[in-house]
Structure 1
Amino acid sequence: EVLPLLLEDVPLTTRQVMWFQLDGAPAQFACTVRQFLNTNYTHWIGRRGTVSWPPRSPDLTPLNFYLWGYTKQKVYSVVIKTRDQLLERITIAADKIRQNHVKIQRTQ
């Protein structure tokens, strides 16, 4: 449900060459997730994906060094009591990552 919303701001030309890298979490291995990716995206790396990815691959860990820790810190910096609050905090964290990424891209 969330992926299409996150990709709305990504230009179509970028989405067409974009690769998805899944980290092997059980939820990402669900049939519905794999069917969605196979139907909508030709390039994805993960268990039973278009490109297989070995478990605990060192290429997966960069997400653990920055993205997940940063997101968790931003999301849980306040007490969350409802699902809507959780979704709002995740959206805010994702927006900050996008803004910072754009700044980095412009300076390079």
Structure 2
Amino acid sequence: MGQPGVFENTLLLKQDGAPLHYVFPVRQWLDDEFPDKCIGRRRPIESPARSPDLTPLDFLLWSHLTSIVFTPQPESLDELRQRIFESCHDIPQHVFENVREEFEHRLYHCLANNGQHFEHLLK
């Protein structure tokens, strides 16, 4: 990503490449709100190919919520919505602490592996 210190004190936005995030109105808004500061597919800063996933919601929190929301299987859309709301509201503090610790752990592995895939290094 260039010379050390190039991005110090600079806010950058990393896009995940999801199709809904790539539609023209979204890209236009990002260009207006974050000119030359977006990392992603066809953005001012191209996202590295096969970059590792460091999103805490993806690697830990969603699995926690899914196990609660879908056990047992909801019988209606209203019940699903209610369970999601209640489950998010009732997340214990230790879960957030675990997410933060795991995120930090992954960041260290990512740095040690020069930004390349590091999942094989996780225990």
**Match in the other structure for 2:62:** 72
- Mapped partners of 1:23, 1:51: distance in 2: 13
In the alignment, is the contact (CA less than 8 A) between 2:69 and 2:87 conserved in 1?
no
Q: List structure 1 runs of 4+ shifted beyond 2 angstroms.
A: 83-90
In the alignment, is the contact (CA less than 8 A) between 1:19 and 1:45 conserved in 2?
yes
**Match in the other structure for 1:89:** 88
Change beyond 3 A, Cα 1:67–1:84: closer
Can you list the C-alpha shifts for 1:13-46, whole angstroms capped at 9, x where unaligned?
A: xxx7221222322112111221221111131111
Change beyond 3 A, Cα 1:67–1:18: same
Q: 2:46 aligns with which of 49, 52, 59?
A: 52
Give 5+ residue unaligned stretches, structure 1.
1-15
Structure whose alpha-carbon radius of gyration is higher:
2
In the alignment, is the contact (CA less than 8 A) between 1:44 and 1:50 conserved in 2?
yes
Per the TM alignment, residue 77 of structure 1 is displaced from its structure 2 partner at its CA by 2.8
Q: Percent identity?
A: 22
In the alignment, is the contact (CA less than 8 A) between 2:69 and 2:84 conserved in 1?
no
SS at 1:17 equivalent = coil
1:61 equivalent in alignment to 2:52: yes
Per the TM alignment, residue 82 of structure 1 is displaced from its structure 2 partner at its CA by 0.9
Q: Which structure features the higher share of helix residues?
A: 1
Give 5+ residue unaligned stretches, structure 2.
1-8, 71-79, 105-123
- Mapped partners of 1:69, 1:96: distance in 2: 13
Q: 1:19 aligns with which of 12, 15, 32?
A: 12
- Mapped partners of 2:69, 2:13: distance in 1: 31
What TM-score, normalized by structure 2, do the two folds share?
Answer: 0.46
1:33-48 matches, cutoff 5 A = 33-42=26-35, 43-48=37-42
What TM-score, normalized by structure 1, do the two folds share?
Answer: 0.51
Letter in 1 for 2:33: N
When the two chains are superposed, the root-mean-square deviation of aligned CA atoms in Å is 3.7
* Larger RCO, structure (CA 8 Å, separation 6 or more): 2
- Mapped partners of 2:83, 2:67: distance in 1: 16
